[in-house]
Structure 1
Amino acid sequence: METAGKVIKCRAAVTWEANQPFSIEEVEVAPPQSQEIRVKIISTGICRSDEHALTGNMKDVTFPVILGHEGVGIVESVGEDVQDFKPGDKVIPLFIGQCDQCPSCKNPRSNFCLLNMGRTPGVMADGTTRFTCKGKQIHQFTNTSTFSEYTVLHQNNAAKIDDETPLGNVCLIGCSFTTGYGSVVNTAEVKPGSTCAVFGLGGVGLAVVIGCKLAGASRIIGIDVKKDKFERAKELGATECIAPQDCDKSIVELLLEKTGGGVDYTFECIGNIETMTSAIYSSNFAYGTTVLIGISGLSKTITFDPMMLLTGRTLKGSVFGGVKSKDFVPKLVSDYNAKKFDLDKLVSHNLTLEKINEGFELMRAGESIRTILTF
């Protein structure tokens, strides 16, 4: 391409300081260096994790920064020593990379790449960033920074997807859908005929509902204080929905009563300490499995009676569904192209990049499921 090897000027949503609105700026994006690719982002989702970073509720975020990590795009150019990508390839950026060389990548039980985690936050592997604005260095976020028309990724932080994939809502596979769906089929390994309870019916929670249905769960109970989410949850597979504020019993008591002793699998998709505890106590005392998915933020702790686990319960955590990113994401995209699940029903709003602040306000008010930004 004509831009290969050159600095590209483009639009991006820059966060200059914590707790400040996004500012749409013209930024300069340097060419990719060794083992890097430069990608034109087509669409990107707004995720609660971006909000945690924006408010200083996440470690290792250095301002000024370009946030965003749930995107899809097209490779514009590649640096030296890149073998698996070429200009024109469609890719999904990966905030959890996969090098296939470190002990964690080689272990089938883990999806955290030690090489990826060992990098200095906010910069590329060589210790510098590829973004500048108004003469200042702009830091990168989770090795992705998708709130920019162009971004630069290490080749371990991108998954090549099918050429025929429509670029739009498929960006959800870059975070929320894979996080929820993977927690069902990979982390919990939900069995056919089982009962499931999903705490929180946002984008991740609804992906959990889809996963439970495809896994063959016979009963899927959705729980949320926002009752306007219930119709969509039922369309996607929830068999019933509960608004805790309308109950004369605690949600734990109600679920134990409804299931005759506890749910087979419970999923906490909010990041709230109280609902995490409720999810644990709602699971069957002898064989229930609870998966914590929501991010609680810094300095939060959870307390429960250890006997809750000694009787046979299992408590698990799941980041990005516990899946190995470069292996799983292309397969998931192929399933999407084969119409095995519908991502469109997980999207409530579509906005341009210039309206990013509006998108975040919708999320904070609980009025959106997932907002997609397009460039």
Structure 2
Amino acid sequence: MARIRVEHLWKRYGPVEAVRDLSLVCPDGLLLALLGPSGCGKTSTLKMLAGIEDVSAGAIYFDERPVTGLAAAARNVAMVFEDYALYPHLTVAQNIAFPLEIRKQPAQAIRRATDAVIVLLGLEALRDTGVRALSGGAQQRVGIGRALVRQPDVLLFDEPLSHLDGAQKSGLRAEIKRLQKEAGVTSVLVTHDQTEAMAMADQVAVMDRGVLQQVGTPDDLYERPANLFVAQFIGEPPMNLLPGRLERRGDRLVLHGASGELALPGSDAADGAHPDVVVGVRAEHLRLSDPAAGTGLAGAVFFREPRGDSDVVLVQVDGSDAAPLAVEVEPAAGWRAGDRVRVGIADARLHVFDSLRGTRR
């Protein structure tokens, strides 16, 4: 196991700055997810950690050992790939044992280590099965086993679930988390899927255009996004954003926007009046009411998405060309496309951002 520390890391491909001045820490034994859209720099970062991409500038440490200039083979890092990277002509056990065999370890030690990993993975019944006969989920478990058998200091996952269907993804998310905790190996996961990152990681580092936007626990990112990018990238549906001007009236705040006024419950949304802000509010913290209620933003329902124990209703606010507001409602509420409604704020958990810098106030 090892604590990973990255200091002022840069990666340039000619004139393109893929990673820009990245500094972060992954504590010993935890799983850190690098999350962001395509081209954000997460895969380049992973490859620099692995030693398969050169560092343009900056430093990488495992514990206090500098590894920036070390070859991949000297770092004791194992990698799990999105395409499994198994040997199709070998069995489950042979694939798992392969890294130890090429190191020419004693046969008894190889057998003992392979057996332990097979038990950890729950693959005893498939031990002598050729990997061609396995499902995608089982093949990826073998790939994880092949990485773990080496007893690496650091385990790297490169989009490990991207080739799996929904049911397989759900099961393997939990399996990877269990295996990582039981093995106690410091791990870094690259993914563009926020569900994977939020479900599996102890900490999540959100990146965009090569720059670290925020790092924290999944709850930190959801409850206190550092800027507008994180606010919109984390959460499904994305956070609703309401631009306008904040004014304090007595013990409450009022948001003046292009489509009218909206009272903000509580007094902690901001420290007073601000000329240009964006107020963020999650779908579960909005409410719909009859237009006769007279308060809130007037609009019309144009889409309802059933989600089992709740529905998400999209409301186009009158006079606004911005994206519709997403509101989480009880299915029994019965809202339908075309219904006239008013949108109000039901919860004081608001997020106020500077409209120019996009940063949290």
The TM-score normalised by the length of structure 2 is 0.30
The TM-score normalised by the length of structure 1 is 0.29
Structure with the larger strand share: 2
In terms of Rg, which structure is larger?
2
